[in-house]
Amino acid sequence: MIPLYYNVRSLAARRLSTGLTVLGLSLVVFVFAAVLMLSNGIESALSAGGSRQNVVLLREGALTEIGSVVPREAVAVVGNWPQVASSPEGTALAAGELLVIVALPRDGDTFANISARGVTEPSWEARPAARITEGRRPRPGSFEIALGSSLIGAGGGAEVGGELEFAGQRWPVVGRLSAGGGAFESEIWADRNRLGQAFNRPGLTSAIVRLTSPDAFPELKRRIEGDRRFELKAMREDEYWEEQASATATFIRVLGLFVAFVFSIGAVLGAMITMFAQVSARIRELGVMRAIGFSRGTVLAGVVIESALLGAVGGLLGSLGATAMRFVKIETLNFATFSQISFGFAPTPGILLAALLFGLGMGVSGGILPALKAARLGILDAVRA
Amino acid sequence: MTLGQLAFKDLLRNPTRLLLTVLATGIGVLAFVFLQTVISVFYSGLAVTQPDRLAVRSKISITQPLPLSYKRRIESVPGVTRITYAGWFGGRMSETREDFFPNFYVDKATYLKVYDEYVAPADQLAAWMADPCGAMAGKSLAERFDWQIGDRVTLKNAVYPGEWTFTVRGIYAGRTPQIDTTLFAFGYRCINERLPEELRDYVGIYTIVVDDPARSAQVAAQIDAMFANSAYPTRTESERSFQMSFIAMSSAILTAVRIVAYGVLLILLLVVGNTLAMNVREKTVDLATLRALGFRRRHVAALVLVESLVIGLAGAAVGLLLAPPVLSGFVRVVSESFGPIGTVVITGPTYALALGASVGVALLAGLLPALRAARLQVAEGLRRIA
């Protein structure tokens, strides 16, 4: 076996080529890892808000709350079922909600589409994850609102103590809403009846129901979907939010992975160029190695290892760079709900491992052809070269 | 032997490396074209906007409707020559995302007078007009589901309850390739009559044509002032800024795609630069010999730059040849697993940009090696063993 030290030394002998190749490989790994972290970030941002113990009721055939209508009677009926949990005071944790989209001005001429959720008292009780971290809850029946924490500081009165203006009303901001990074952090929560008034929308778009236990879901689903009075369907809240994320996350993932794949071919070619140069510059050296008894296999392995080393360093640098992206926050339109969501790059050990392996794989595949060339050298020709 | 021939021979001294470099450049160009095209798909809505068209929608939010009664009042504003309305229907054939397509209700009598970029044969147009529940389908949409004239399409909808059956009466094409031909449009009357009282006579958005684009700001202000204190205030803006407001919402993703596109160029720079630096290093003795024979510094530098130019051009050729088939393959795979995406075409400017970027990057990559070659000390170069 040729010692690893030899490989490191020979790479170091051509600093410029090695450096350029490693940089190229690490850029590819960076894109690969960043894309995975981003789509993971969207999914965890949206699904973090959902509880497995909660059920979202939508009209049959609706995919989002915006495109749904739920009759008030249905919420009253469901509230009496034994599967539904109650608050300590004894009210059923089933709340009809109204989701509308508000165009809020944002720096200058542009504006952002923000989801505004009309809630009632049980909406808060049903979602322990949604907490007020600054200020207080809006008083029921008032125009007060709680602002999702990722909307705070967006300007134009978007802060606790400030005031927003939309739908011909002034809405004082009295609280900052946090939800463990979930989608609610990109929402405005207001009193349902006041919001309905301002938007001329007396109806409900959806309902949230807290179960006595997550296992009660199949029974509730069977009952509500079997009830011919209402054409409703039931979804677990966490699954609902996951589905909301899937279109945007898939878009980013498909686009990003395709680009990373195309890139990787380019980077493999780059590694190949470098390794071919390494081999042809060292023909005599390799011949001597063969002459003193190293086998073809060992020479082959030596070149591949050297190339793998390039890939490993590139992979390491690339994933380090991508991990640094976690301090960047991104805001974009969610195609499914037509409103802004805010999310970040979310690294996981799995993604980092995949990125390292990806870099290593590129290095190895770039080294194979040059290694074969090195291994095929005739000893005499090589030494004479 | 001319300098050109010499450069050519020089290029071929390491054919494997040349091939690999050109391939890598080609793939980089391919990725660049791909990303630029993705960006242009986002902006494709802008390409078809017209300066004399204005969009009137609810000021509160895009999902809030406007009363149908606004049509008369907007029409009466001086400067407005034509008006039409439309709205998002959002029906689905099933609950899967895969067979989703955009569907709208429109005011049949006026829609195509305002949106004259959609064209259909006269007899189909007449049939569409005559049937209240007749639908007009875009060419690529009709191909996707293999619809013929006379086919029935049933959509389900959660906001407008029930099942809605439409008959395909016409198939439209676009005046230019950028026009979206994935849409499905039917008359507002067809659904309005069946709606419950509280939903009836509300539409999504009005589009107006003004006689003088220079006065459009004034017209817009007048319309918005007219409804400012009503329950349904409006926001009127040019079609272009209306489209821009949608693009702006995805701006973070677009920025990321742009950054990646320039990242591709950076990788190209590294790969080509690496190759050229190697070539110069290996040719040190040859270059020194040339200099000793009386060639000037600029000749030697030109030799390297010609090499980089050839790599850049050849790479661009490979990439641009590969781009259309790869892109259409990508579109096919994506629309199978993930629903349709708009009409995707690689535009002329994208080709030109990619060609320019490839050659530019190759020349940039050749700059340092060329300088190094030009600065070479003859005696030292001759002494050196590569």
B64 touches chain A (CB under 8 A): yes
B63 touches chain A (CB under 8 A): yes
Interface of B with A in 5-44 (CB under 8 A): 16-17, 20-21, 23-24, 27-28, 30-31, 34-35, 38
> Is the pLDDT confidence value at A222 over 50?
yes
Query: Taking the domains of chain B in order of start, what are their residue ranges?
Result: 3-45+251-383, 60-232
Average pLDDT on B349-358 reads 90
Q: How far apart are CA B367 and CA B263, in angstroms?
A: 19
Q: Tell me the H-state helices in B160-283.
A: 188-192, 216-227, 239-249, 251-282
pLDDT tens digits along B243-268? 887 777 777 778 878 888 888 888 88
Average pLDDT on A265-285 reads 84
Angstrom distances, CA of residue B93 to CA of A247, B90, B97, B100: 18, 10, 10, 7
Using a pLDDT cut of 70, give the percent of chain A over it. Answer: 96
Using a pLDDT cut of 90, give the percent of chain B over it. Answer: 31
Q: Phi and psi at residue A220, in whole multiples of 5°?
A: -65, -40
Q: How far apart are CA A168 and CA B227, in angstroms?
A: 12
Specify the pLDDT at position B97: 63
Average pLDDT on A290-311 reads 89
Specify the pLDDT at position B90: 82
Sort out which chain B residues have CB atoms less than 8 A from A110's CB and list them.
Answer: 245, 248
Q: How many CB atoms lie within 10 A of CB B202?
A: 19
Which two structure tokens, joined as six digits, stand for B68? 């149908």
Specify the pLDDT at position B386: 47
Sort out which chain A residues have CB atoms less than 8 A from B245's CB and list them.
Answer: 110-111
pLDDT tens digits along B4-49? 788 788 888 888 888 988 998 898 898 888 888 888 877 877 777 8
Query: Taking the domains of chain A in order of start, what are their residue ranges?
Result: 4-47+244-384, 61-230
Interface of B with A in 242-281 (CB under 8 A): 245-246, 248-253, 256-257, 260, 263-264, 266-268, 270-271, 273-275, 277-278
Specify the pLDDT at position B252: 73
pLDDT tens digits along B147-190? 999 999 999 877 777 788 999 999 999 888 778 888 899 999 98
Q: Which of A30, A38, A100 sits opposite B63 (nearest CB)?
A: A100
> Between residues B71 and B282, which one has the greater pLDDT?
B71
Within its chain, how far is the Cα of B347 from the centroid?
Answer: 8
pLDDT tens digits along B134-144? 999 999 889 88
Inter-chain residue contact A254 with B334, CB threshold 8 Å: yes
The band of B53, judged by pLDDT with boundaries at 50, 70 and 90, is very high
Inter-chain residue contact B61 with A113, CB threshold 8 Å: yes
> Is the pLDDT confidence value at B317 over 90?
yes
Which residue is it, tokens 């079997």?
A: A226
pLDDT tens digits along B192-223? 888 888 778 999 999 999 998 888 889 999 99
Average pLDDT on A359-372 reads 91
> Is the pLDDT confidence value at B98 over 80?
no
**Burial grade of A9 (CB within 10 A; 0-12, 13-18, 19 or more):** exposed
- Asked casually if ipTM beats, i.e. exceeds, 0.85, the reply is no
Residue type, A223: R
Q: Which of B60, B95, B266 sits opposite A61 (nearest CB)?
A: B95
Sort out which chain B residues have CB atoms less than 8 A from A68's CB and list them.
Answer: 158-159
Angstrom distances, CA of residue B242 to CA of A156, A288, B60, B82, B235: 22, 72, 14, 18, 10
> Is the pLDDT confidence value at A47 over 80?
no
What 3-state DSSP class applies to B125?
helix
In DSSP terms, A116 is beta-bridged to A100, A188
Give chain B's mean pLDDT: 86
